[in-house]
Amino acid sequence: MTSTWVEPSNTATALLLLGRGSDPATERGVECPGDLPAPSDPDLVARAAAAKAALGTKVFVLGHHYQRDEVIQFADVTGDSFKLAREAAARPDAEYIVFCGVHFMAESADILTSDAQKVILPDLAAGCSMADMAVLTQVEAAWDTLTDLGVAADTVPVTYMNSSADIKGFVGRNGGVVCTSSNAKRALDWAFEQGRKVLFLPDQHLGRNTAVLEMGFSLDDCVLYDPHKPNGGLTAEQLRDAKMILWRGHCSVHGRFTLDSVNDVRERVPGVNVLVHPECRHEVVNAADLVGSTEFIIRTIEAAPAGSAWAVGTELNLVRRLALAHPDKQIMFLDRAVCYCSTMNRIDLPHLVWALEELVAGRVVNQITVDPETARHARAALDQMLALPGA
């Protein structure tokens, strides 16, 4: 019996993004099983504070940099995805880890924390479009293709932190490593010591930018593997010759920045510094003044002199927060059109209040768990990252 994939209707897709449906082929979840407080409830802040106080040290709230301000105010720690997962692991006495981020981040926290701790995602519909672009069955099929060509044995899989636990587990099973945007070069240096080529998942831009701009590879050394085409849309010769096999994935927020965005802001704001994340397109990164991870962007803005102007190519919540925190500097979003991370923005104050109040009532909701076998292999890939020189 053969199955046929059917393109979801616009209505079904819209309902999914609103958290009122499910898609078993992605990491996103379903609607909340309880009744959410109304967004207009004037007591939401007080209710969140009261619930958090009632739970005391039993709860530890993590807030990703891209979260809304209304949520960030209740975070015990803010940071990028890997920093937050490590912070959770460093709090073994916290029974509940409430992760205000997206699904793959909560999975990483579950992998790194103890079995006694429960990781909660306030809204299961908070996923990551980039992570969804690399599905385990697709990656396994690609690996089979490399095996048939006789190159898999000399290929090291490297996955960005922004990937599902399934993909991290695949990488761990096949002797690879996880990387972040700040240690991608160290991870790739290690990978090329183990093999002759790398399969880089799932963000093509981070892989290409690191290989070409930091490691001296050429664009010809990189090929783009499209999982929706036979053999990734590549010839056997291309796959054999490539040093970097880049997965066809990208961040929907960082991918929107273009060379026109850079040229436009330079025309409008004389002397502006363009600062972008390495998930941006290659031509954008090439045209920028500085490139770095979210933490690098924050440190750079903090250290910048008063009066300087900065156009920042990353998620809008963070850019707005930086602008408010540094009124002595001119800080703006790189693109004229605003763009939040829509799935990250699923975590709002009503969902946080609901999750905390359910915990106060003794009910654990939206717990994120990774099966032990997947977690074991994913942990191996994460541990390999922690063992990298300079990590």
Dihedral angle computed from the Cα positions of residues 180, 186, 187 and 188, in that order, rounded to the nearest 10 degrees: 120
Q: Which amino acid is at 35?
A: D
- Has 128 been labeled as part of a binding site? yes
277 marked ligand binding residue: yes
252 is in an annotated binding site: no
Beta strands in the chain (DSSP E): 59-64, 77-79, 96-100, 118-120, 155-160, 177-179, 197-201, 222-225, 244-247, 273-276, 290-291, 309-313, 330-333, 367-368
Q: How far apart are CA 214 and CA 300, in angstroms?
A: 19
* Pairing state between β 197-201 and 244-247: parallel
Burial label, 362 (beta-carbon count in 10 A; 0-12, 13-18, 19+): exposed
Three-state DSSP state, 172 = helix
How far apart CA 258 and CA 182 sit, in angstroms, is 22
The token pair that represents 78 in the structure block: 């803010």
Q: Which residues pair with 118 in a beta bridge?
A: 96
Q: Please check if 340 is assigned to a binding site.
A: no
81 labelled ligand-binding? yes
As a residue count, the chain comes to: 391
280 among the known binding-site residues?
no
162 is in an annotated binding site: yes
Instruction: Please tell me whether 161 is known to bind a ligand.
Output: yes
Q: Which two tokens stand for residue 194?
A: 């183990």
Q: Is 160 annotated as a binding residue?
A: yes
- Cite the DSSP H helix spans in 219-348: 236-241, 259-268, 282-287, 294-303, 316-325
Residue ranges of the binding site for iminosuccinate: 64, 81, 160-162, 181, 277-279, 294
Residue ranges of the binding site: 64, 81, 128, 160-162, 181, 251, 277-279, 294, 341
Residue ranges of the binding site for [4Fe-4S] cluster: 128, 251, 341
